[in-house]
Amino acid sequence: MSEITPELVTHLASLSRIDLSPDEIASLTTELGQIVDSIAKVSEVATADVPATSHPIPLTNALRADVVGETLTQEQVLQNAPEQQDGKFVVTAILGEEQ
Amino acid sequence: MAKDKILSFERALELYEPVLGFEVHIELGTKTKMFSSAPNEFGSEPNTNITPVDLGLPGTLPVVNEQAVRYSISLGLALGCEIAETSSFARKNYFYPDMTKNYQITQSDQPIAYDGSVEVELADGTIFHVPIERAHMEEDAGKLTHVGGSAGRIQGASASLVDYNRAGVPLVEIVTRPIFGAEHNAPELAKAYVAVVREIAISLGISEARMERGNLRCDANVSLRPRGQEKLGTRTETKNVNSLRSVERAVRYEIQRQAAILEAGGTITQETRHWHEDTGTTSAGRPKSDADDYRYFPEPDLLPVVPGRELIEQLRSELPEAPAARNRRLKGEWGFTDLEFQDVVNGGLLAEISSTVAAGATAQAARKWWTGEIARIANTQGVDAASLISPENVAATAKLVEAGTLTDKLARQVIEGVIAGEGSPQEVVDARGLAVVSDDGALIAAIDEALAAQPDILEKLREGKVQAAGAVIGAVMKAMKGQADAARVRELLLERAAQA
Amino acid sequence: MSDLIRLSAAELAAKLSAGEVSAVEATQAHLDRIAAVDGDVHAFLHVSDSALETARGIDERRAAGEQLHELAGVPLAVKDVLVTTDMPSTSGSKILEGYMSPFDATVVERARAAGLIAIGKTNMDEFAMGSSTEHSAYGPTHNPWDLSRIPGGSGGGSAAAVAAFEAPLALGSDTGGSIRQPAHVTGTVGVKPTYGGVSRYGSIALASSLDQIGPVTRTVLDAALLHDVIGGHDARDSTSIPESWVSMAAAAREGQSGEVLKGLRVGVVKQFSGEGFQAGVEQRFAETLTLLQGAGAEIVEIDAPHFEYAVAAYYLILPAEASSNLARYDSVRFGLRVHPQGGGTVEDVMAATREAGFGPEVKRRIILGTYALSSGYYDAYYGSAQKVRTLIQRDFNAAFDQVDVIASPSAPTTAFKIGERVNDPLSMYLNDITTIPANLAGVPGISIPMGLAPEDGLPTGLQLMAPVRADDRLYRVAAAIEARLEEGWGHTLISQAPALGGK
Ligand SMILES: [Mg+2]
Ligand SMILES: [Zn+2]
């Protein structure tokens, strides 16, 4: 049986900043439960001696010379902004803390 | 906000052992950002130092700045660290509007540098070895300004404005291991450690490390454990500590605050705390909770960095002297007494004095200005001396004194003017009309005027009563608004008496 | 139907450079075709209003005697996952409706530099999450072979555009089969290059370690020609392979003789058959293997014991990376902004925006990915999946010690009906069983038509996979097989597609 509960889905939704409706939480709890049951089998073969692969092609050292390139104009930067003021993006009040 | 109870520092130390830890972020002075070719520049028009990468636009990808890697390796070496054979990047996931991608590219399992140690000397000569756990590369976030609330504070603001010019600026975060045994010196050690890290960064030429600009930022971790207890106490992380003196004060305050809670039988909440410069206190920030699940995972868009032995050894060979050794050398070169040198170290002014000497001032003049007038103004304003004036301007002022253009008294006014933003020393001299009057004609005229008011004085001088000169010299100096060289006035007055 | 649109890109290019046809004529013919059939197919989300002007420019340059690229003047459809400066880029999502990029994706930039005419942006599953294009926020695309069926996904728009003769060439992206599976169900050719072979810069990221951009065409040679245009190192993509590549078009042309099939060792994965595989698909695959043997190839059964874990690993790695890649859609800098009822903090605005702006499949995968990465679960899920990836690479390495290429059906079934599986994510996910291993290992894969399934008359595709960096081998072999198959049929497979729009 899966460990996916409505509380967990609610927590995950808050971590991922999606204001899920109660209906969505209910249906996702079921669906994710099934999905997780079917994908949990990865741990069967993922033994301690197997290294993890994060990049399919093992390359290293893609480095860039420290040379200034072309920048966007302020107008381009703000071209898709939902709201702007004084050359800056506007967001509504922040209650949380800076990290 | 209720005022915290605090215990006296002495009592706190009797009952508890303070354990410290620091996370220092240093902005690297590269030409471009960590992962994009946008200029890394302070003070530009908002949202102009930006490429699509810095804005996290759909489809963009990061590319690592080679110079930032070299700077980080040099810093790691100067901190006595091992340099990773393979160093890799990770994503730290959390939502915040100053971060364009809502994840920070940082390093997790494989930081560029690890396992170091920094030697810190305290006022009483004690040498402390601060253990460094790691130094890793990451990117800075943008800047938020809060509008509509009181005094730009987050609380009560109705909207925030975001400028992403700083987003993506290269950072190195230096993380210490827990620091034990500082005891009564804990606040001083905190300040001295940050000062040493700052000096290292400046001497490497990798950062301006100006705390008031946020080039160097310190988060101070403090926990207390009852005497005799093995287990570490719960720690708080004080953020936003933007000057050396604040680091010292914040650590002292946290020790006293936590001690009061523990003594009253309370428990410490693991949380971030915000330092308030004005009140000298900290206030509770966000509690650490399971919402702090950063879901680190290897950054798939970036490859590992494998610096290679050759590069590391080359950078090692280019390292400037270690601060402790350099201090010993400088003390000799500058000819400072123990007391004078300690004053400089305590003020965190070594780098400033070095630069001032490099800019042409004598060591004694540099010391005198930095630990004297500038430190005095810094104290009144509650900021670090280094944030007030550039070493070049101090040297320029000292040179004006040496050339006889300024008296010490006038030079103090010049320093004050430069700090007030009136321009370079020469500009302040010109604008305020501060130069010593070296025109003999003007001085003779003033002498004649003074003599006319006190006719008996010439007589006395001729009779050899030299002390009578004082009254005239005083009057001339007053007429010249202090901008005359008193010795020259005296010379001219005596000549005048001999003539008549 | 105009003959121009029936031509392969190579044929059209030949007429263009011979001066028999102008770029304006070629472009107009395809725009006319789009106007005639796209109401039914819905392959395009946006049709360029500057394509004719661009074509005119190409004609002028050609008239002025300028030496142009072989493909100059050939129309190109661009999957909406690729950002473009002259057309909106939405990745099939409401959250990016109307988004205008200040830069072109590298592949688009290179295509434009070669003189290709970008005629429109093609439909896709939202953020490339899906295998049917039903998850597009802008409505489904229909399979030109049977409008009631899916065109595959996520690149159903690009495949359908090419299959419906709305464009000879298209660009796609393949994270777990999004180029190859649509090719399979639409009777077209699709290539997922070696990871790092084609720049991802300007491709709206789904899963960074899996995404690859590639060509979608009607012939192997056309795919190779387009591959040569878009491929090669790009300093803006750190994962781009720095070494240079041989010409894929040269390899494809060389392969057409069939010489390459003599002595070719073709691996057949034991695990890719049986349950879940449609009889007609298996039948066409078996026939193709027989044909290969007849041409002198050797068929070798290979064991890839970890392939059965590929889908599971994929549905951990993809959502995990996607949950992070999609965090930037937060209403602050671009895209949709939704204010919650009664106002709220910026956090509330972000959450309301993402709730309204993302479709159900996107939310499902973001939540799943967030789970796979969260503390306490990372090792069991994401960490394990990354280890499975190693095991799958080892399976490939062992296989390629024995064989030159691996062959399989490109997907287990032919096109299913629109709506049939949309509420059954698990069965949808299993449709990618054959294509996913290549993405996990980074190896290149191609899908070419291998006939119609007898039971439903719908296209099936043959998938070939080669070792990392051996993309040219795929083109050589695929071109040889394509030639043999068409020789046997007496025509191309796509020529059998039903007429559309009554024209
Ligand atoms: Mg930190
Ligand atoms: Zn940091």
Domains delineated in chain C: 3-270+401-496 (3.90.1300.10)
Which of C312, C354, C390 is closest, CB to CB, to A51? C390
* Minimum distance, in Å, between the CA of residue A49 and any CA atom of chain B: 18
Centre of ligand 1 to C-alpha B23, Å, is 6
Inter-chain residue contact C381 with A40, CB threshold 8 Å: yes
Which of A42, A56, A79 is closest, CB to CB, to C312? A42
Flag whether B331 is in a domain.
yes
Interface test with B, best of A71, A84, A86, A91 (most B CBs within 10 A): A71
Interface test with C, best of B294, B297, B306 (most C CBs within 10 A): B297
pLDDT tens per residue across span B59-99: 999 999 999 999 999 999 999 999 999 999 999 999 999 99
Q: Could you tell me if B257 and B340 lie in one domain?
A: no
pLDDT at B290: 52
Strand ranges across the sheet with A88-92? A84-85, A88-92, B159-163, B143-147
Centre of ligand 1 to C-alpha B220, Å, is 10
Chain B window 127-166: which residues touch A at a Cβ cutoff of 8 Å?
141, 144-146, 148-149, 154-155, 157-164
Closest CA to C428 of C361, C366, C341, C339: C361
pLDDT tens per residue across span B443-465: 888 888 888 888 788 888 888 78
> Which residues in chain A have their CB less than 8 angstroms from residue B32's CB?
64, 66-69
> Which residues in chain A have their CB less than 8 angstroms from residue C358's CB?
18
Phi/psi region, residue B425 (left: phi>0; alpha: psi -120 to 50; beta: rest), is alpha
Q: Could you tell me if B50 and B139 lie in one domain?
A: yes
Centre of ligand 2 to C-alpha B251, Å, is 20
Q: Could you tell me if B271 and B395 lie in one domain?
A: no
Inter-chain residue contact C387 with A13, CB threshold 8 Å: no
Chain B window 263-282: which residues touch A at a Cβ cutoff of 8 Å?
272
What CATH number does the domain containing B466 carry? 1.10.10.410
Q: Could you tell me if B259 and B387 lie in one domain?
A: no
Section C368-395 average pLDDT: 94
Closest CA to C302 of C403, C201, C205, C229: C403
* Minimum distance, in Å, between the CA of residue A60 and any CA atom of chain B: 5
Taking 60 as the threshold, does the pLDDT of residue B321 lie above it? yes
Section B331-335 average pLDDT: 90
pLDDT tens per residue across span C187-220: 999 999 999 999 999 999 999 999 999 999 999 9
C371 and chain B: CB distance < 8 Å anywhere? Answer: no
pLDDT tens per residue across span B29-47: 999 999 999 999 999 999 9
Chain C window 273-302: which residues touch B at a Cβ cutoff of 8 Å?
none
Q: Could you tell me if B361 and B310 lie in one domain?
A: no
Inter-chain residue contact A17 with B164, CB threshold 8 Å: no
Inter-chain residue contact A16 with C367, CB threshold 8 Å: yes
Closest CA to B373 of B426, B412, B424, B422: B412
pLDDT at B350: 86
Q: Could you tell me if B262 and B335 lie in one domain?
A: no
Q: Could you tell me if B450 and B424 lie in one domain?
A: no
pLDDT at C194: 98
Centre of ligand 1 to C-alpha A48, Å, is 30
pLDDT at B407: 83
Count CB atoms within 10 A of the CB of residue C474. Answer: 32
Query: Considering the entire predicted model, what is its pTM?
Result: 0.88
Which of B47, B97, B98 is closest, CB to CB, to A77? B47
Inter-chain residue contact B101 with C328, CB threshold 8 Å: yes
Chain A window 16-35: which residues touch C at a Cβ cutoff of 8 Å?
16-21, 24, 28, 31-32, 34-35
Flag whether B337 is in a domain.
yes
Inter-chain residue contact B63 with C236, CB threshold 8 Å: yes
CATH 1.10.20 fits A6-45, yes or no: yes
Inter-chain residue contact B297 with C324, CB threshold 8 Å: yes
Flag whether B2 is in a domain.
no
- State the residue for tokens 């671009």: C334
> Which residues in chain C have their CB less than 8 angstroms from residue B289's CB?
none
User: Is residue C213 within 8 Å of residue C107, measured between CB atoms?
Assistant: yes
Section B159-167 average pLDDT: 96
Give chain B's mean pLDDT.
90
pLDDT at B289: 63
> Which residues in chain B have their CB less than 8 angstroms from residue A18's CB?
none
Query: Structurally, how many domains does chain B consist of?
Result: 3
Inter-chain residue contact B297 with C235, CB threshold 8 Å: no
Query: Where in chain A are the domains?
Result: 6-45
Of chain C, the percentage scoring pLDDT greater than 70 comes to 99
pLDDT at A98: 45
Which residues form the domain of B84? 9-315
Residues around ion ligand 2, judged by CB within 5 A, are: B 173
On the question of a cis peptide bond just before residue C89, with omega within 30 degrees of 0, the verdict is no
* Minimum distance, in Å, between the CA of residue A73 and any CA atom of chain B: 6
pLDDT at C503: 46
The last residue of a domain, from among B432, B467, B489: B432
Flag whether B4 is in a domain.
no
What are the percentages of helix, strand and coil residues in chain A, rounded to 5? 35, 10, 55
* Minimum distance, in Å, between the CA of residue C336 and any CA atom of chain A: 7
Q: Could you tell me if B454 and B368 lie in one domain?
A: no
Cβ contacts of residue B448 below 8 Å, gap of 6+?
B496
Q: Could you tell me if B188 and B297 lie in one domain?
A: yes
ipTM computed for the complex: 0.96
Q: Could you tell me if B282 and B413 lie in one domain?
A: no
Closest CA to C97 of C105, C84, C88: C88
Section C260-281 average pLDDT: 93
Q: Which residues of C are catalytic?
A: 79, 154, 178
Q: Could you tell me if B369 and B221 lie in one domain?
A: no
Section B370-390 average pLDDT: 89
Token code pair at residue C37 = 């059939």
Flag whether B3 is in a domain.
no
Q: Which chains touch B (3 or more CB pairs under 8 A)?
A: A, C
The last residue of a domain, from among B258, B286, B315: B315
Centre of ligand 2 to C-alpha B105, Å, is 10
Centre of ligand 2 to C-alpha B171, Å, is 8
User: Where are the alpha helices (H) located in C42-114, listed in sequence order?
Assistant: 51-63, 106-113
* Minimum distance, in Å, between the CA of residue A13 and any CA atom of chain B: 11
User: Of B238-252, B478-492, C254-268, which has the strongest mean pLDDT?
Assistant: C254-268
Burial class (CB within 10 angstroms; exposed 0-12, middle 13-18, buried 19+) of B154:
middle
Token code pair at residue C299 = 């068929």
pLDDT at B155: 52
Q: How far apart are CA B103 and CA B99, in angstroms?
A: 7
* Minimum distance, in Å, between the CA of residue A1 and any CA atom of chain B: 24
pLDDT tens per residue across span B402-434: 887 888 888 898 999 999 999 999 898 888 887
Which of A18, A59, A92 is closest, CB to CB, to C354? A18
Taking 60 as the threshold, does the pLDDT of residue B152 lie above it? no
Inter-chain residue contact B291 with A15, CB threshold 8 Å: yes
Quick one: how far is CA C261 from the chain centroid? 26
pLDDT tens per residue across span B92-135: 999 999 999 999 999 999 999 999 999 998 888 788 999 999 99
The last residue of a domain, from among B315, B335, B357: B315
Closest CA to C265 of C293, C242, C226, C284: C293
Taking 90 as the threshold, does the pLDDT of residue B147 lie above it? no
Centre of ligand 1 to C-alpha B175, Å, is 8
User: Is residue B398 within 8 Å of residue B361, measured between CB atoms?
Assistant: yes
Q: Could you tell me if B332 and B452 lie in one domain?
A: no
Flag whether B468 is in a domain.
yes
pLDDT tens per residue across span C287-334: 999 999 999 999 999 999 999 999 999 999 999 999 999 999 999 999
pLDDT-derived band at B233 (thresholds 50, 70, 90) equals: very high
Could you list the pLDDT tens digit for every one of the 99 residues in chain A?
Answer: 458 999 999 999 999 999 999 999 999 999 999 999 989 899 899 999 999 999 999 999 999 999 999 999 999 999 999 999 999 999 998 765 443
Identify which has the larger pLDDT, B342 or C351. Answer: C351
